[in-house]
Structure 1
Amino acid sequence: MLARIICIGNPFIAADAAGPMVYGILAGCPLPASVNLVDGGLAGLRLLPLFEGCNQVIVVDAVEGFRADPGVIILDPATMPSAPVDYGHQAGLAYLLQAIPHILDPPVPEVVVVGIEGPATVPVCRQAARLCLDLVGSENGCPCRPESVSAG
């Protein structure tokens, strides 16, 4: 089974730095050979080809309005808003996820969003990284030290 972890965001904007921080943590972890780690940056719809040729895709991104308190949440793409209320950050992720079944040839991969609600702190991003490893079935763990990742 081939899996991809795609971390989305902008490391220069604190409210959008969660994905890049999780990428930095995971880049220092021993990943199974069947897992590709991708820095998706701000590529938007240009990320669509990364959803091809794999069984599972985990998208890591900052989210808003899914939890009452800050933390990590797993979202099914079906729970993402179907029509963007605005054209902000969340609308872009929802639009990307909605485009997958309409643009890609079947079979489409299982897609899960690991969302970080609130500030992208090192402890929260480490929790998200561990969750990604659990979702791909990695038994290698993540020996990364918190000080190896900038707090943004």
Structure 2
Amino acid sequence: MTRVVIGCGNPLAGDDGVGLKVIEELERRGLPPGVKTIPAGLPGLALLGLLRGAEQAVIVDAVHAGQEPGTVICCQEKDLARLSWRSLSLHNLGIGEALALGRLVDPATFPPRLILVGIQAGSLTPGQTNLSPPVAAALPLAVATIYQLLGGGNGA
């Protein structure tokens, strides 16, 4: 079974880089066999190619969902349909729009199990390379959530 964890975000825009920081931490700790990490940056429609053929995909990104900064939000794909994608995405072509398009145009190679782990952003200052304190403090919970979704691993 092919499983991927895709980190999205802009490392030069403060908290928007949290998805990439989560990928760094997962790689540092190690992953269960058969799991591949992908630091995707701002993938837009290229996200569809990264998902192609995976049995399970976890997408990690900063979100704007009206929560306190640092709140970790875990949504299955079916739950995402009820949310406003514009409110979740911090990028021009949101993850939601790309996922909806992928499910529509290429259902045979789209992951049957897709989950978004979002971390509520606080500061999105251009040129800032550090995460805000509440978002940095959320990294361990985001990483532990991903290990749980993957069914184990090196969550210590």
Provide Cα deviations, 1:38-61, integer angstroms capped at 9, x if missing partner.
Answer: 001112111211212111100000
Gaps of 5+ in 2: 123-130
Secondary structure of 2:29's match?
coil
- Once the two structures are TM-superposed, the CA of residue 80 in structure 1 deviates from its matched residue by 3.7
Over the residues paired in the alignment, what is the CA RMSD in angstroms? 2.3
* Residue 27 of structure 1: aligned partner: 27
The normalised TM-score by structure 2 is: 0.78
* Residue 123 of structure 1: aligned partner: 137
Quote the Cα distance in structure 2 between the aligned partners of 1:3 and 1:48.
Answer: 14
* Residue 148 of structure 1: aligned partner: none
* Residue 81 of structure 1: aligned partner: 84
The normalised TM-score by structure 1 is: 0.80
Quote the Cα distance in structure 2 between the aligned partners of 1:79 and 1:28.
Answer: 34
Quote the Cα distance in structure 2 between the aligned partners of 1:7 and 1:96.
Answer: 15
- Once the two structures are TM-superposed, the CA of residue 2 in structure 1 deviates from its matched residue by 1.8
Provide Cα deviations, 1:85-125, integer angstroms capped at 9, x if missing partner.
Answer: 7x952751111121121222415311110000134433202
Amino acid at match of 1:10: N
Distance 1:122 1:41, change over 3 A: same
Provide Cα deviations, 1:17-50, integer angstroms capped at 9, x if missing partner.
Answer: 1111111111102112210100011121112112
Percent of aligned pairs with the same amino acid: 29
After the TM superposition, which residues 82-121 of structure 1 pair with which residues of structure 2 at under 5 Å, given as runs? 84=86, 89=91, 92-106=94-108, 108-109=110-111, 110-119=113-122, 120=131, 121=135
Quote the Cα distance in structure 2 between the aligned partners of 1:89 and 1:80.
Answer: 16
Moved more, 34-43 or 67-76: 67-76
Aligned residues: 140
Gaps of 5+ in 1: 143-152
